[in-house]
C-alpha cells in the first residue's frame, strides 16, 4: 500500500476547514501551515473567475528534502509517506530550500523543521487524516496508489500534479485545478490580497489575467550568515591554495589564516542552525547523500591540512592534497545548491562551480597582495570580474531560475558588488567585499521566487 492524496478542485469551496483542522490536530503554530488554501482571480471583466487550490506536501516519490537532509531526519515510510523525526533535526532549513512546494516550515518553538505527515498517527488507527474528515464536500481523498484502478481513474479524469518538471514525482493529484493556482509564476506580481497582507516585496511578474487574492506567508531562512559563510570559505580555500603553490609564501601564516577563516565558517554554519547543539549529528547521524554532510567532511580535511601548514609542515607531498581539498572547499556549495531543487536560481546555475572556484583564486590573490604586490595578483580579481560579467548574461534554463536571476540583478547589494568587483582589479583585497555583496544578493534572490 502506498498512500496518496487526490484533491478535487471541482468540489472544493475554499472554506479553509482543512487548514483549521490540520492546525488543531497537529498544533501548527501561528504563521505556519501544513495545508492551506490559495485563492486567485483570473480573466477580464466580464469574463472573470475565482478559483481555489488546496496546497500541501506532495509526499514525493523522489523527495528532494530526504536527499538533502544531513541527519536523516526526513525519511520515506514503507507506505509512501514522507515523515520527519524531530529528534534528529538540526534546524538547518536545507529541506525548505529543496522542497519546490513550500511545504516545509521551521517550528520556532521546537527549533526543528515540520511538515504534513499525512496524519499517520490517525491512519494507523484506521482514521482518515484530519483534513479529509472535516471537508464538507469530500474534496480531499486518500487513495492507494498501488491500486491499478486508482491510476486508471486519475488518468481518465485528467489528474495533474504541481511542478512535474522538477522531477520529484509528486504523489498528490489535482482534479479540475486552474493552472494558475498550481503555478505561482502565472500569477500577477502585484499579489493584491483581499483578506490578508503577505510580506512579499519581489513576487513573480506572472500574467495579467491572474492574481492572488488570498495566500499565506512563507518563511525565508537563509540570509547574511550563508553569504558570510561563502566569503570565509573562499578565504580559507584561498589561503590553503596559496600555501600550497607559492614557494616564497609564509606557510605558517597562511595555514593560520586558513584555520581562522575555517573556524569562522564553522561558527557561521553552526550559528545559522535552529538546533546548534545538535551540530555533531552531521557526523554521528549523517546522511552520506547530503552535500551538507559531504561538505563537513571536506571542511574537516581542510582543517587538518591547514593545521599541518600552521605547524610549519610543508612540501610537495602535502601540496597536492592541499590544492585538491582547497578547491573542493571552494566549490562543494555548488553541489549543495544543486540539491536545493526548490530554489531554481541555485539549482540550475551551471556557472556556480566555476564562480566559487574563481572566488578562491581571487581570495588567494587578495592575501598575496599584502606581501607581494605586483601585476600577477591582479589577474584573479580580473578573472572574477569576467565571470561575474558572464553571470549577468548567463542563460538560465527554467522560468523560476530566470525570475530569480532578474531579481538578483535588481538588488542594490548586487550593484554595489559589481562596483567593488571592478575596484578589486586595482586593489585586490576589495574583492572580499564584492564576494559578500554579490553572494548576499544571490542568496536572497533565490528565495524570493514564489514556490506556491
Q: Are residues 426 and 332 in the same domain?
A: yes
Q: Are 233 and 305 members of one domain?
A: yes
pLDDT at 414: 97
- Shared-domain flag, residues 305 and 180: no
Q: Are residues 16 and 165 in the same domain?
A: yes
The sign of the torsion formed by the CA atoms of 62, 65, 67, 71 equals: negative
Quote the percentage of the chain above a pLDDT of 70. 94
Last residue of a domain, one of 214, 237, 261: 214
For the chain, the farthest-separated pair of C-alpha atoms sits apart, in whole angstroms, at 79
Q: Residue 330: is the preceding peptide bond cis (ω within 30°)?
A: no
Q: Is residue 86 part of a domain?
A: yes
Q: Tell me whether residue 177 is in a domain.
A: yes
Q: Does residue 389 carry a pLDDT above 90?
A: yes
424 vs 371, higher pLDDT: 424
Question: Same domain, yes or no, for 90 and 177?
Answer: yes
Q: Is 130 a domain residue?
A: yes
Whether the model pTM is above 0.85: yes
Is residue 452 in some structural domain? no
pLDDT, residue 189, reads: 61
pLDDT for 22-76, tens place per residue? 999 999 999 899 999 999 888 877 888 889 999 999 999 999 999 999 999 999 9
b/e code 87-111 from CB counts within 10 Å (16+ = b):
ebbbbbbbbbbbbbbbbbbbbeeeb
325-370 tens-digit pLDDT: 999 999 999 999 999 999 999 999 999 999 999 999 999 999 999 8
Residues with Cβ within 8 Å of 200's Cβ and at least 6 positions away in sequence, in order, are 191, 217, 450
SS3 (DSSP) at 249 = coil
The answer to whether residue 219 sits within a structural domain is no
Domain stop point among 163, 184, 214: 214
The C-alpha cell of 75 is what? 525519511
- As a whole number, mean pLDDT of residues 88-105 equals 96
Residue 365 lies in a domain: yes
* CATH number of residue 29's parent domain: 3.30.70.20
Q: What are phi and psi of 34, to 5 degrees?
A: -100, -30
Residue 390 lies in a domain: yes
Our count of domains for the chain comes to: 2
Q: Percent helix, strand, coil in the chain (nearest 5)?
A: 50, 10, 35
Same domain, 184 and 243: no
Which H or E run contains 257?
helix 251-271
**Containing domain of residue 424, as a range?**
224-447
User: CA-to-CA distance for 408 and 402, rounded, in angstroms?
Assistant: 10
The domain boundary residue, chosen from 195, 214, 233: 214
Phi, psi of 107 (to 5 degrees): -80, 105
**Torsion (CA) 362, 270, 339, 391 in degrees, nearest 10:** -30
Same domain, yes or no: 200 and 303: no
Output the domain CATH number for residue 317.
Answer: 1.20.1630.10
Residues contacting 439, CB < 8 A, separation 6+: 226, 227, 230, 231
- In this structure, the answer to whether residues 345 and 269 fall within a common structural domain is yes
210 shares a domain with 338: no
Residues 277, 192 share a domain: no
Q: Is residue 76 part of a domain?
A: yes
The pLDDT of residue 201 is 45
Among 224-228, 271-275, 376-380, 415-419, which is the least confidently predicted range? 376-380
Say yes or no: 246 and 201 in one domain.
Answer: no
In a shared domain, residues 341 and 199? no
Amino acid at each position: 500500500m502506498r498512500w496518496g492524496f487526490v484533491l478535487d478542485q471541482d468540489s472544493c469551496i475554499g472554506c479553509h476547514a482543512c487548514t483549521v483542522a490540520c492546525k488543531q490536530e497537529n498544533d501548527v503554530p501561528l504563521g505556519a501551515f501544513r495545508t492551506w488554501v490559495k485563492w486567485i482571480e483570473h480573466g477580464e471583466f466580464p469574463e472573470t473567475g475565482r478559483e481555489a487550490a488546496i496546497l500541501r506536501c506532495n509526499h514525493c516519490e523522489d523527495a528532494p528534502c530526504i536527499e538533502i537532509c544531513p541527519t536523516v531526519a526526513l525519511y520515506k515510510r514503507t507506505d509512501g509517506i514522507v515523515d520527519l523525526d524531530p529528534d534528529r533535526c538540526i534546524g538547518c532549513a536545507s529541506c525548505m530550500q529543496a522542497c519546490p512546494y513550500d511545504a516545509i516550515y521551521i517550528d520556532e518553538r521546537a527549533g526543528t523543521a515540520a511538515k504534513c505527515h499525512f496524519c499517520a498517527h490517525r491512519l494507523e488507527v484506521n482514521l482518515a487524516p484530519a483534513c479529509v474528515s472535516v471537508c464538507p464536500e469530500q474534496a480531499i481523498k486518500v487513495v492507494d496508489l498501488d491500486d491499478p484502478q486508482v491510476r486508471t481513474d486519475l488518468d481518465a479524469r485528467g489528474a495533474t500534479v504541481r511542478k512535474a518538471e522538477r522531477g520529484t514525482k509528486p504523489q498528490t493529484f489535482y482534479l479540475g485545478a486552474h493552472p494558475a493556482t498550481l503555478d505561482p509564476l502565472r500569477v500577477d506580481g502585484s499579489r493584491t490580497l483581499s483578506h490578508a497582507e503577505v510580506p512579499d516585496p519581489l513576487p513573480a511578474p506572472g500574467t495579467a489575467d491572474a492574481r492572488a487574492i488570498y495566500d499565506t506567508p512563507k518563511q525565508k531562512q537563509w540570509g547574511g550568515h550563508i553569504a558570510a559563510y561563502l566569503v570565509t570559505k573562499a578565504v580559507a580555500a584561498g589561503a590553503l591554495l596559496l600555501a600550497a603553490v607559492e614557494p616564497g609564501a609564509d606557510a605558517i601564516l597562511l595555514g593560520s589564516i586558513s584555520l581562522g577563516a575555517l573556524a569562522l565558517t564553522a561558527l557561521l554554519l553552526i550559528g545559522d542552525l535552529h538546533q546548534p547543539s545538535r551540530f555533531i549529528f552531521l557526523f554521528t547521524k549523517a546522511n552520506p547523500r547530503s552535500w551538507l554532510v559531504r561538505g563537513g567532511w571536506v571542511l574537516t580535511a581542510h582543517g587538518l591540512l591547514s593545521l599541518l601548514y600552521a605547524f610549519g609542515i610543508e612540501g610537495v607531498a602535502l601540496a597536492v592534497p592541499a590544492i585538491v581539498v582547497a578547491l573542493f572547499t571552494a566549490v562543494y556549495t555548488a553541489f549543495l545548491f544543486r540539491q536545493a531543487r526548490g530554489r531554481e536560481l541555485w539549482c540550475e546555475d551551471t556557472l556556480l562551480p566555476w564562480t566559487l572556484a574563481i572566488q578562491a583564486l581571487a581570495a588567494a590573490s587578495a592575501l598575496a597582495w599584502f606581501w607581494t604586490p605586483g601585476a600577477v595578483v591582479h589577474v584573479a580579481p580580473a578573472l572574477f570580474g569576467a565571470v561575474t560579467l558572464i553571470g549577468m548574461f548567463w542563460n538560465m534554463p527554467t522560468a523560476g531560475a530566470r525570475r530569480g536571476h532578474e531579481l538578483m540583478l535588481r538588488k542594490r547589494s548586487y550593484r554595489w558588488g559589481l562596483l567593488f568587483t571592478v575596484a578589486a582589479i586595482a586593489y585586490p583585497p576589495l574583492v572580499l567585499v564584492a564576494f559578500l555583496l554579490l553572494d548576499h544578493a544571490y542568496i536572497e534572490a533565490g528565495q524570493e521566487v514564489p514556490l506556491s
